[in-house]
């Protein structure tokens, strides 16, 4: 669910909520019905502020949240998938902060992999949530929009 940033104190990712509470968010009966149908397959959801990057932030956060359940090979596949994008960006010779964002994201994935080895599943998920609240996590330059 997308929120306006002012509704949640500008947090980028919120705590999980029971999916059973979602239908109460809507006045439209069709939306209420669709929210109820989601309960057949899902038990929780997270609200994310709508700020132009919410889809990407939600997708990346969910992927990193699931990282605790995947093999080391999948972690390496993710890191490997970032390299061709980095190489393409370099060939474009465009000004911008993609290199800073790339370095920060790769560094954070490596940090996630390290935390995964140290913590329980719930410990990792709590650590990741706390990291998502860190406004400066990827603020290597003023031009970078952080994902968490």
C-alpha distances in angstroms, 32 versus 3, 24, 29?
A: 17, 7, 5
At 133-142, the pLDDT tens digits run 886 664 433 3
pLDDT at 146 exceeding the cut of 60: no
> CB of 148 within 8 A of CB of 138?
yes
Considering the entire predicted model, what is its pTM?
Answer: 0.71
At 68-79, the pLDDT tens digits run 889 999 999 989
Q: Beta strand 48-49 with 2-3: parallel, antiparallel or unpaired?
A: parallel
pLDDT at 139: 43
> CB of 148 within 8 A of CB of 13?
yes
Name 44's bridge partners.
Answer: 18
Integer Cα distance of 101 and 60 in angstroms: 13
Mean pLDDT of 108-120: 94
Which value, to the nearest 10 degrees, does the dihedral of the CA atoms of residues 83, 86, 88, 93 take? -160
7 contact partners, CB below 8 Å, separation of at least 6: 49
Integer Cα distance of 103 and 51 in angstroms: 23
Integer Cα distance of 118 and 102 in angstroms: 25
pLDDT at 66 exceeding the cut of 80: yes
pLDDT at 42: 93
pLDDT at 108 exceeding the cut of 60: yes
């Amino acid at each position: 669910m997308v929120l306006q940033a002012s509704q949640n104190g500008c947090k980028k990712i919120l705590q999980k909520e029971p999916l059973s509470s979602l239908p109460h968010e809507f006045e439209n009966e069709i939306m209420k019905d669709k929210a109820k149908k989601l309960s057949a397959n899902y038990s929780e959801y997270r609200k994310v502020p709508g700020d132009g990057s919410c889809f990407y932030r939600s997708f990346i956060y969910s992927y990193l949240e699931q990282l605790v359940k995947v093999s080391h090979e999948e972690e390496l596949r993710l890191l490997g998938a970032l390299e061709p994008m980095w190489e393409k960006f370099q060939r474009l010779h465009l000004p911008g902060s993609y290199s800073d964002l790339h370095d920060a994201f790769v560094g954070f994935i490596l940090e996630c992999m390290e935390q995964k080895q140290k913590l329980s599943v719930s410990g990792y998920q709590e650590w990741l949530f706390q990291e998502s609240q860190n406004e400066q996590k990827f603020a290597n330059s003023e031009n970078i929009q952080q994902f968490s």
